[in-house]
Each structure stands twice: as structure tokens, then as C-alpha cells.
Structure 1
Amino acid sequence: MELLKDLYSPIFFERFIHFVKEKYPAFDGERFRSSIYDDNWDQEAFKQRMRHITRSLTETLPPSYPEALEVLAAVAPQCRGVEYLFFPDFIELNGLGSYELSMEFLQIFTPYSSSEFAVRPFLLQEPGRTLEHMKQWARHENEHIRRLASEGCRPRLPWASNLPALRKDPRPILPILETLKEDPSEYVRKSVANNLNDISKDHPELVLVLAKGWYGKTTATNWIVKHGCRSLLKKGDSRALSLFGYEENRSVSVHGLDVKIGSIAAGENLEFSFRLMNESEDIQALRIDYEIGYRKKNGTLAPKRFKLTEKPFGPGTHPLVKRHSFKLLTTRTYYAGEHEVRILVNGTPMAAVSFEFTG
């Protein structure tokens, strides 16, 4: 399996050096290449390699920060994708002392390789000024720049530096999200939803109030609210469930929960089935989740919740089957022993069964 860091291959660098030399013939490609392949390169992960490339560019582009930015801006349209995140990273590393120029070029680079990570040190250094800039970005004609306004200030953006002030009080973010909540671009709306979901993990009340105000306006806004409340829904928050029509269970039960094979090994699938019974005479909106109780090293179980389905269920019996993969992951360590699968309906635990994981 190719790792993300392997995008930085010798072929990649040859192509990049060619692009730069076309716009800046004085570029010392050999010096740049030698700086890349030092004693640390092989051990570095993706983000470490990205910063490594940024440092090498700093050594080989013009020493004048404005001139170096002009070279990168000339090359940027040929350099699109996650592997070119070192373009905005060049600003993060070198541009904190040149605020206006840096913000201008973060905007220039973001359509090619997102500036969502590089803008965060500016939010830490000058939060009020940078948020005002981002409010302007939220009204830009380019969807990539509008998305940067939302994505860059996410309180819990993965891979990114922390924003403790906005995690503590995310209200300064809300005007940006208000501007973008009916954005024509799905790409932007998804960022708004992810920002809301981040906020909900520390300030559920704030998101629930906002969600009630937004829900029911448009189809696009309804999707944002639903996706933005996904962590609250997964936790079984009764207020979030109620907002989307998932009320407390009325005459609903789960029967016959069973695993197809009582013992599975790493790389295999756990298959389980059960019957959901709606004993009322009404159609009911139900969200069905399941939890896998993973055995920890100390022998206790750590439940992780997953969505199975959500839809209206008519009166009567509804058979449901699910396969859950136990493929090996770098993000999870499996321990042999008894595990558990549990079924929840609208946030309420309804049934559980044990199974053995052999390792």
C-alpha cells in the first residue's frame, strides 16, 4: 500500500524542479535535490516531509520573501493537490512577520493546495484581524477561497495546530458560517457542516440553538445541520435526535440479535443480524446504531458507535443484517478475547450479544 508520504518520489521532484526553472531559471535544482535527500528523509512522515521541502525551498528560492512568493505564484497553477501543501506552508514558515502580503498569497495558493493549515498561525498571532480577513473570504467569488474561510477556523481541524481561544469560545466563527450556510457549492457547505461538528464537541448547546434556527430553511441548509450534528446524533443526544424527528421509542423492540460466527480473527468480518419490531400502527422515524465493544489491553471493553441506518419504519417486523470489518488498521490495535455488539434505536440501547475475537 502506497503511503501518502510516498507521493514525494524522485519523479515528483524532477517534475517540480522543471516547473520552477521554467519560471525562475536561476533555481538551483541540484542544491534543492541534495537538501531533500538528507539522512532524515526516509524516516519522515508526510507532514514532516512537507516541512522539509519548505525548508529546502527557503534555502533555494530568492532570499527576498516577496520575490520568492512571486516565483511560487507563477508555478502554483501547475501544482495542484495535497502533495503541494508546501506552497502555503512556505508562508507559514516565512511570512508571519509580513501579514498583509502573506494573507494575499494564502488566498492565491488555496485554489491549488489548500491554505487551511497555514492560516492558523495567523489566527493565533492576530485573531481579530485574521477573522475579519476570513469574513471577506467568505464572500469571495471563488469557492476554494470561501471554503478557506470556514475550513481554516475549524476548532478541531485534523492535522492542524490547535486554536485554544476558538475552542473555548467559538462565537467569533459564527458570522462566517452564517454567510456560508446557503453557499451554492457543496464543497463549501461540507466545510460549514464539519466546522459545526467540531464546535458541537465542546459546545453542544450552541450548535443545537443554531441548528434549530437553520433547520427547515432549505434542503442544503438541512443537510448542513444534519451533518453538523452527526457527533451529537451518534452520542444519542435526545435534543439532536428530536430535532430530526427521532423521538423516544414508542413500541419499538429488537429481537433475535445474533452473530453468524461466534469467533472471528483479524481481517475477517463480523456478521450480525436482528429483527426490529415496530409494534405500533404508525410509521416511525428510527435511527439504528450499533456499538462494537472492543477489548482493551487491560481487559475492559471500549465501545465505538457506528450508524447502521436511519429511515421511516412501518408497522411490523424488519430483518436487518450488518457486516463489520476487523481488518488490520494502523489506527486501532485489536486484543484477543470476548467482544460485544450492541444495538441502539434512537439512542436507546436495545440488545447486546458477545462474540470472541481470536487475534
Structure 2
Amino acid sequence: MTADQPSPALKEIFNAERLHHIATEMTAVYPEFDAKAFLKLARTGLAELSVMQRMARVSECLHAVLPLGYEASLEVLRALAPRLNSGFVSMCLPHYVATYGADRFELSMDALKYFTAFGSSEFAIRHFLRRDIERSLQLMHDWSLDDNEHVRRLASEGCRPRLPWSFRLEPIQADPTLAARILDNLKADSSLYVRKSVANHLNDITKDHPEWVLDVIEGWSLDNKHTAWIARHALRSLIKQGNPRALAIMGAGGKPEVEIIDIQVTPPVIGLGEKITLSFAVKSTDEDSQRLVIDYAIDYVKANGSTSAKVFKLKTLTLPGKATEQLSRGQHIKELTTRRHYAGKHAVHVQVNGKRLASTAFEILP
């Protein structure tokens, strides 16, 4: 399983109890609904399906038992949306739109705009972008000016070039200017929900066009706290890589005049599932204060004995001249859907403003 795939436990969002809830609420808004037929179809082979497959199954089963045309079905589903007891579950409704409304652009896009407030239409809208990117982006540009934060967030999130759990939008991945007007409208958004999306969208772009993102952010005024927040989070991957321009934007572009002292990982030897604590002090060797971005990297041992580094954010601070800052960070070394751990010696590095300044290690027992 990759980092772009959901955890297996998530599929239990669509368990038998939830299917019964959907059937009950559908019957409440549409008394003629054949709940028995819906449940029989939806439960068949449920255990073998992933969370995204279960979401698709729900919309397909709704379509199978609703004896209505597309427009009339949407009216029923609009009534259902506020009655569902899970935002993630409500995403089956945008999926319905993407699956059965591809040829009804205006009606379907209006439905996605409505449904996004109950969960998100971020996955469904990508099918319309793939089908007619120019028309879809124009409408999403209008949405980026909407009063509703959910709609504004959809304008950014839906056209992310590398949205997790979804297919890539190759035209936007190749040419980020296609969605640039949307991001510009949202660069100082008052909603954290929206700002996170804009930052993630820009961070996606740094994977393919880092200089373009740096050019854009260098053109922003970071005096606005919301814009500065987006810039900081949008540049996180480049900062972890020690990109000089990204660090300079964050005010940490200079060579760090510091030394790392008393670095250690405790305990130095652990079993899988246990916790380590990295601790050290950052001591200034300069008379002037310095802006420092402090991260740490772990060289994870792979199955073949080689290593792969993973950088973690630790702290950004302004260190006064000749001052010392004590830092520590705990981390559980446990199995994740995105990372397996193997026995062996794992190096740990402290990096300041992108420069590795000190190292230590811990060992995972077989």
C-alpha cells in the first residue's frame, strides 16, 4: 500500500450498520425507496472491497434501485445529503454525479457545488476536469470567490495535480498556470480549511515545477498572516530538501552559525512499537540573532539493507546571539500503512536551514 492509498480500517466507515443508516434515511426522503433491494446489493461481497470501492458500491446501488431519471434522482439525493451521519459517507453522492451525470455539465457541477458542503466533491469533480478542463476550471474560478468556504476549498482541492487517492490531472501537472488564477484568489483566504488546500496544491506543484512555485510566492506580500501561513506550508517539501530560495523566503536563507551539542536518542536500542526521544541543544556561535528552520531526518533501513531518508519538521525559531535552545521530539517507531520498519541501525540527523550539522543513531531489534 502506498502513501496515496487509504488505511484498510477506513473501509469500515461503510459497514453494514452504515448501509442500514443510508437505507433508512433514503426511505425517509423517498418513501418508495426499495431499501431491501438496496441492502442486498450493497452488502454482497462487501468484506472484500476497499473504502473507495465501497463508496462506489453505494452510489451504484442507489442508482440501481432508484426508478427515476438523473435530474429527479439528484433532487432525492440533495434531500438525503444533510441526513447522512458521516462526511466521508456523503462523498458517495458526488460519486453518483461523476458516474451518471457526465453529459449534464451544468446540472452536475451545480450538484457537486451543493454536495461538497456535506463532505467533499474533490474526487468527483476531477472526472469533469478530465472531460472538459477549460470549462470546468472557469467555473471553479468563479467558485474560488464564493462566500462558502467549502465551495472555495473545492475550487483548489479539486484541481490539485497530485490529489491523494485519485488520478493525477496531467494537464495541470504539466502546466500549473492553468489553475493559477484560482490559487491567486485564495492566497489570503480567511478559512484555514481553504488555506490548507491551497498550500497542499502548491506543494503538489513543487514536485514538478519548484521554480514556478518559488516565483509565485516570491511575488506575494507575506505581511498578510494568512498568505504567510500558506507560503510556509506550501514550501515544506522544498524546505526539508534544503532549497535555498525556499529557506530565504522563510527568512532562514543564511548559513546557520550554530553548533549542535548533547545530541542523543533514548533509548538507543528498541523493539518495534516502542518510542524514541531525540534531544539536543542548538547553540549560537554568532553575536546576532538568526532565523533557523530545524528539522531531523531518519535513515530508515529497508528490506534489502539499504536506507531511505525521511525528513520531519521540528521547529522554526529566532535564536538570539550566543543563546542556546534545548529541543526534543518523541516518535513512536511502529508499523504504518505508508512505512514498514526493519531491524538494524537507523541514523538520525539534525539539519538546520537545510544543512546537516550533527548525527546520532538508534537500533531496532529483530
Give the corresponding residue for 1:116: 122
**Are 1:298 and 2:294 matched, yes or no?**
no
Say whether 1:34 aligns with 2:40: yes
In the alignment, the residues of structure 1 paired with residue 329 and residue 164 of structure 2 have an alpha-carbon distance, to the nearest angstrom, of 29
Aligned counterparts, 1:14-163, within 5 A: 14-38=20-44, 40-79=45-84, 80-163=86-169
Deviations 1:298-343 (A, max 9, x none): 1111110001111011223333222222022222111111111011
Q: Say which SS state the counterpart of residue 219 (structure 2) adopts.
A: helix
Letter of the aligned partner of 2:195 in structure 1? Answer: R
Contact 2:8–2:50, Cα closer than 8 Å, also in 1: no
Identify which of 346, 360, 365 aligns with 1:353.
Answer: 360
What amino acid does structure 2 have at the position aligned with 1:149?
A
Residue equivalent to 1:269:
275
1:288 has 2:300 as partner: no
1:221 aligns with 2:212: no
Offset, 1:50? 0.5
Cα contact 1:288–1:309 (8 A) shared by 2: yes
Match of 1:318 among 303, 307, 325: 325
Are the aligned partners of 1:110 and 1:144 in contact in 2 as well (CA < 8 Å)? Answer: yes
Deviations 1:2-46, CA, capped at 9 Å, x for gaps: 9221122333222222221122111100000000111x2101111
1:111-138 CA-partner distances (Å, limit 9, x unpaired): 1121111000110110001001101111
Q: Secondary structure at the match of 2:201?
A: helix
Alpha-carbon displacement from aligned partner over 1:182-205 (angstroms, at most 9, x marks no partner): 222222122111111111121111
Rounded Cα–Cα distance in structure 2 between residues aligned with 1:135 and 1:204: 23
Q: Count how many residue pairs are aligned between Structure 1 and Structure 2.
A: 358
Distance in 1, Cα, partners of 2:335 & 2:290? 37
Cα displacement (A) at 1:243: 1.1
| Other-structure match for 2:339 | 332
Is the 1:140–1:146 Cα contact (8 Å) retained in structure 2? yes
Contact 1:250 1:280 in 2 (8 A): no
Unaligned regions of 5+ residues in structure 1, if any? none
Write the letter of the residue equivalent to 1:177. L
Query: Is 104-113 or 126-135 further displaced after alignment?
Result: 104-113
- Paired with 1:319 and 1:89, the residues of 2 have a C-alpha distance of 50
2:270/2:363 contact within 8 Å kept: yes
* 1:206 to partner: Cα distance: 0.8
- More displaced, 75-84 or 200-209? 75-84
Contact 1:41–1:49 (CA under 8 A) maintained in structure 2: yes
Q: Cα gap change, 1:85/1:250 in structure 2, threshold over 3 Å: closer, same or farther?
A: closer
2:23 aligned partner, one-letter code: I
Structure 1 position 346, deviation (Å): 0.5
Instruction: State the AA in 2 paired with 1:14.
Output: H
Amino acid across the alignment from 1:319: Q
Matched AA of 2:325: H
1:203 equivalent in structure 2:
209
Q: Does residue 192 of structure 1 match 2:198?
A: yes
Q: Secondary structure at the match of 1:108?
A: helix
Alignment partner, residue 3 of structure 2: none
Moved more, 87-96 or 209-218: 209-218
What is the SS of the residue equivalent to 1:85? helix
Could you tell me which runs of 5 or more consecutive residues in structure 2 were left unpaired when the two chains were aligned: 1-6
Q: After TM superposition, what 4+ stretches of structure 1 lie above 4 angstroms from structure 2?
A: none
Offset, 1:210? 0.9
Compared CA separation, residues 14 and 355, structure 1 to 2 (3 A): closer
TM-score (norm 2): 0.94
Deviation of 1:63 after TM superposition, in Å, equals 4.0
- TM-aligned CA deviation for residue 250 of structure 1: 4.2
> In structure 1, what is the equivalent of residue 4 of structure 2?
none
Percent sequence identity over aligned pairs:
40
Which amino acid is 1:42 matched to? A
Q: Please tell me the residue identity of whatever aligns with 1:305.
A: V
> How far apart in 2 are the matches of 1:316 and 1:182?
35
